[in-house]
Structure formats: C-alpha cells, structure tokens
C-alpha cells in the first residue's frame, strides 16, 4: 500500500494536486486502500471509490480538469477493465443487440430528476452561451441556432432522431411553423413528448432509427449518435440519406473524441451512466458520410459544455432535498461525479462538441453562427 500511495501521490503532485491539501481541487482521502484500488482499476476505480465515499474534493471538476490536463488518465489505465470492455466492444454489436438499453438505463430513471436539473425547456445537450448569461438563455439560443442552420421555414417536415423530451421540435413548430416526427428509445421521454405535442402538428414514436422509412425536408439529431456505436455509423448515415429529400439539410450535434478508436468508451461512464456509449471521432463521421453527403459546415462549441454542465450540477444539488426520497446517497455521489467530471473533461478539451451540416444540394450553403 505504501508503494501505491507513493505512486499516486507523485502522479497527483505532477498535476498540482495534493493529498489532504487545502486547495479546492485537492482530494481528501478517507480510506487508505484508495491508492492500490486506483492503480489496479484506473478510471473505473476512481469513480467507484468516490461513490463509496473513499475520497472527496471540494471541486471535483477542477480535480478532473487537472488530472486530464496532465494526461494522468493515460498513466493509470486499469487494464483488466479495459480488456473486458474492448472484447465486448469489438466482438459484439451491443448497440444493435439492444438499441433500447440506453433508454431504460439512463433516460427512464425519472423525469423529476431531469426537470430539476435541466433548463425550463428540458434540453439535455450543450447550450450555446455566445450571448447568453443563463442556462435558459443558452438553451433557447442553441435551439434557435439549430433551426437557423437547418433553414427551417413554414411547412417543412422535420425528423428529430433522438428527440429527447420533444422540446426542440416544439420550439421549431412554434417559432418556424414546421411539422414533424420525433423518435426516441425512452418510454419516459416519449410519454412526456406525447403530452407536450398535443394540439401541434407533431408526433413522437418509440422507435429505433433503423426502422424509419418516411421522407423529410430536414433532419436533426442532437446527442444521439454517441449511442450508435462505431460499427453502425454507416448504417446511421444511410438511414438519414434514405429519409432526407434531395434538397434537404441534415444537422448532426454530437460530443466528439479527439482520437479515432474502435475500443470501448470510458469504463466508469459505460458502467454507470451511458452503457455501450461511444464517442465518434471526426474521421469516423467523415468516413461514414463518404459517398452519401457533402459536409457543408463544421462548428465546434465544446467550450460551452463546461458552463452547461456546471449549471446542471448547481440545479441538481439545489434540488437534492426534494429528490432524495427517490434516490439514495450513492446515487447523489454518482450523479455529482458524472456532471462535474464531464465539466472538467470539457474544460481540459478532452472531449469536443460538434455541430455538422450535411446535404446533397447543388446550391451553396452558408454557415450560420
């Protein structure tokens, strides 16, 4: 244990992090077995030991930022866990075997949680903070940015793949006069959207994207392709192609990886937050669209995910006294770690957030900001 402690202490010191120090990003260790656990289990063990109360930090986001900024995640891998996930990722098409799993495991855990955490429009994706001062403003700006990029106009028929609680389609119907269809693999989201869409020319379907056969003027997918899996990117893009009218536009909004890999996603996130999730790289997405679309525009807004996640975490913590009857303390620590570690990751530019525009148009498309 002594050797493990020395190794971890040295690694953290290189990132400016002290054990039981006074800085907000320092960690307070409550169980001395933490050091050997992290060395053997990597990022999965780091997250699980936080959930178990083995360590704390006043600013988990700042701690994770420093860890990733120094590349400590590459120095403590937890090979056993990575090997298991690599085998699952490469020998099985998990997203095809059970496309509804992510809905059941993540999006169906309770609308009360998401209502408390998110903005008033229930947008569970990166806000656009360019001219915004609040989360509500940033999410309205994001929805309007998407509508303008898609050149929405009255009468357009729009498909939203992975429509969440349906609020983007509602915004587009109310402000741009569109009609459309949203698909989701979450029963809770579908029920919410069904009520939201009453009286509007919109419908929601509990449906896997592969089974959509209709035609649309515009297609949008926000924060969904992260659940598709690298083996299925071409299938996803072919589905969009088959559903998009000749002069249509397609907007893809996705978290992206800096590196192209065919391995598994991050182990702790895979186990507790987004099972079978996988962040695409630019290369993988471009290869998947080759021969199908022109790429019209590429916009990186990843730096705006940090304030979005911090706002979600503040809302979650503020609402915890009302939520604690539905969720236990371990869930609180898990969810807190999820939001803050993601914020730290985006702050370190460990991940990106891209909006990509595609078409088959002959006319020139002008990018919108």
- Residues involved in catalysis: 342
**What H or E segment, with its residue span, contains residue 296?**
strand 294-300
Burial of 216 (0-12, 13-18, 19+ CB in 10 A): buried
CB 163 within 8 A of CB 193: yes
Looking from the CA of 207 toward its CB, the CA atoms found within 13 Å total 16
Q: Please tell me the distance from the alpha carbon of residue 351 to that of residue 341, in angstroms, as a whole number.
A: 12
Instruction: Please tell me whether residue 359 adopts helix, strand or coil conformation.
Output: strand
Pair of tokens at residue 170: 């509602």
Q: Please tell me the distance from the alpha carbon of residue 348 to that of residue 178, in angstroms, as a whole number.
A: 38
CA angle, 229 as apex, 225 and 230 as ends, to 5°?
105
Q: 283: closest CA among 258, 250, 251?
A: 258
Rounded to a whole number of angstroms, the distance between the first and last alpha carbons of the chain is 53
Task: Tell me which DSSP letter residue 280 carries.
Answer: P
Pair of tokens at residue 332: 């609180």
CB 232 within 8 A of CB 246: no
């Amino acid at each position: 244990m002594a050797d493990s402690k020395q190794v971890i202490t040295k690694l953290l010191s290189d990132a400016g992090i002290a054990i039981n120090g006074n800085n907000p990003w320092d960690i307070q260790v409550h169980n001395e077995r933490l050091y050997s656990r992290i060395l053997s289990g990597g990022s999965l063990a780091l997250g699980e030991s936080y959930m178990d109360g083995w360590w704390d930090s006043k600013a988990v986001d700042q701690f994770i930022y420093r860890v990733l900024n120094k590349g400590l995640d590459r120095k403590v891998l937890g090979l056993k866990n990575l090997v298991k996930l690599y085998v699952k990722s490469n020998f099985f098409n998990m997203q095809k075997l059970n496309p509804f799993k992510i809905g059941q495991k993540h999006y169906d855990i309770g609308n009360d949680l998401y209502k408390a955490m998110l903005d008033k429009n229930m947008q569970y994706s990166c806000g656009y903070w360019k001219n915004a001062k609040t989360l509500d403003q940033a999410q309205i700006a994001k929805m309007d940015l998407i509508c303008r990029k898609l050149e929405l106009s009255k009468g357009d028929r729009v498909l939203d793949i992975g429509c969440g609680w349906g609020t983007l389609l509602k915004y587009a119907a109310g402000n741009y006069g569109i009609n459309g269809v949203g698909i989701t693999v979450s029963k809770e989201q579908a029920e919410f959207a069904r009520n939201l869409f009453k009286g509007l020319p919109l419908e929601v379907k509990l449906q896997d994207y592969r089974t959509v056969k209709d035609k649309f003027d515009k297609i949008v997918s926000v924060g969904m392709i992260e659940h598709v899996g690298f083996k299925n990117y071409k299938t996803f893009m072919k589905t969009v192609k088959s559903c998009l009218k000749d002069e249509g536009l397609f907007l893809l909004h996705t978290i992206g990886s800096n590196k192209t890999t065919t391995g598994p996603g991050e182990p702790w996130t895979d186990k507790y937050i987004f099972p079978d999730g996988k962040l695409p790289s630019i290369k993988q997405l471009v290869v998947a669209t080759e021969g199908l679309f022109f790429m019209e525009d590429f916009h990186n807004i990843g730096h705006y995910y940090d304030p979005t996640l911090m706002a979600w975490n503040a809302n979650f913590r503020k609402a915890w006294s009302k939520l604690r009857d539905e969720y236990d303390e371990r869930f609180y620590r898990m969810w807190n770690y999820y939001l803050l570690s993601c914020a730290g990751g985006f702050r370190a530019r460990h991940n990106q957030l891209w909006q990509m525009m595609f078409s088959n148009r002959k006319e020139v498309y002008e990018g919108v900001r």
